[in-house]
């Protein structure tokens, strides 16, 4: 496998995050994409930075990026490619609650093997590498502090569930009824995966539409921390889904992210 350093990907995420925060502090315009989701100039500006930097870092690896795909620009992909969401949680960005992230992931043979999630407004960055563990650090004045190892926690008798702040559903509540739930925490963007990875929550069910660039980086962090993300039939979430009659390219099925793997029920 081409060795891609999570540190170099983190530097790219920091650069994109700096631009996002510059726009966040301004009077930015909000548009609507064809799928009715919001988009701002920060999405495009951050993606431009990430694409330019990835081209310098590894020009041989294709990049599937959210805004490019929405404009019809989709590269041919093989066993190795990047998935990029330059600003995950645009609704959180617009509402200015800080829970938005920059997501960069490297996919190998359908698995997220390197992932970086940066929450610039919160000053938090997370990264994970398959077989090498996951870490988190504070970010102050554009500088990454001392990293801390991330490990999922053993599931308690009553679990802490986490879910979408902007996309909750009755299906999620129904699915969670199979567990004893101590509390349900709402959070935005791919931070939900990271909260499970750091042991702040135990389970994250998503019964709603997501795309691969929404989940890949957070999935990589969680897997590296000892967790797992599966479809509702228990199969690991797979990346690079194209050419299906039943779903658009790169669309995810419903899934569940588990910290303690013992929570996964047949």
Annotation-wise, does 214 bind a ligand? yes
What values do phi and psi take at 37, rounded to 5? -85, 150
DSSP E strands, the chain: 30-32, 38-40, 63-65, 80-88, 101-108, 111-119, 124-129, 133-140, 143-144, 148-150, 159-164, 181-187, 203-206, 228-231, 255-258
- Residue 191, annotated ligand binder? no
Has 174 been labeled as part of a binding site?
no
CB atoms within 10 A of CB 251: 15
Cite the beta strand spans of 120-222 per DSSP E: 124-129, 133-140, 143-144, 148-150, 159-164, 181-187, 203-206
Confirm whether residue 88 is marked as ligand binding.
yes
263 annotated as belonging to a binding site for a ligand: no
Flag whether 53 is marked binding: no
Question: Taking each helix axis from N to C terminus, what angle separates 6-24 and 41-57, rounded to the nearest 10 degrees?
Answer: 160
Identify the H or E element spanning 49: helix 41-57
According to the annotation, is 22 in a ligand binding site?
A: no
| Residues annotated in a binding site for Mg(2+) | 66, 85, 87-88, 214
| Residues annotated in a binding site for substrate | 66, 87-90, 214
| Residues annotated in a binding site | 66, 85, 87-90, 214
């Amino acid at each position: 496998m081409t060795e891609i350093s999570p540190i170099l990907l983190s530097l790219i995420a920091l650069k994109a995050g700096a631009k996002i925060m510059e726009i966040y502090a301004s009077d930015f315009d909000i548009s609507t994409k064809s799928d009715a989701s919001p988009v701002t100039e920060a999405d495009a500006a951050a993606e431009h930075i990430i694409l330019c930097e990835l081209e310098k870092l590894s020009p041989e690896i294709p990049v599937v990026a959210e805004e490019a795909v929405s404009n019809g620009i989709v590269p041919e992909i093989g066993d190795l490619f990047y998935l990029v969401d330059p600003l995950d949680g645009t609704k959180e960005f617009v509402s200015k609650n800080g829970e938005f992230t920059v997501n960069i992931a490297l996919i190998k043979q359908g698995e997220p093997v390197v992932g970086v999630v940066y929450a610039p407004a919160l000053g938090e960055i997370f990264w994970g590498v398959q077989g090498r563990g996951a870490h988190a650090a504070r970010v102050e004045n554009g500088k990454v502090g001392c990293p801390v190892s991330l490990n999922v926690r053993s599931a308690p008798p009553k679990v802490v569930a986490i879910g979408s702040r902007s996309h909750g559903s009755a299906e999620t509540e129904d699915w969670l009824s199979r567990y004893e739930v101590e509390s349900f925490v709402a959070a935005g963007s791919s931070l939900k995966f990271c909260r499970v990875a750091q042991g702040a929550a135990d389970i994250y069910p998503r019964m709603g539409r997501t795309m691969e660039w929404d989940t890949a980086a957070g999935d990589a962090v969680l897997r590296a921390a000892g967790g797992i993300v599966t479809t509702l039939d228990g199969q690991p979430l797979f990346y690079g889904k194209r050419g299906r009659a039943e779903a658009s390219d790169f669309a995810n099925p419903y899934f569940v992210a588990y910290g303690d793997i013992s929570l996964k029920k047949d």
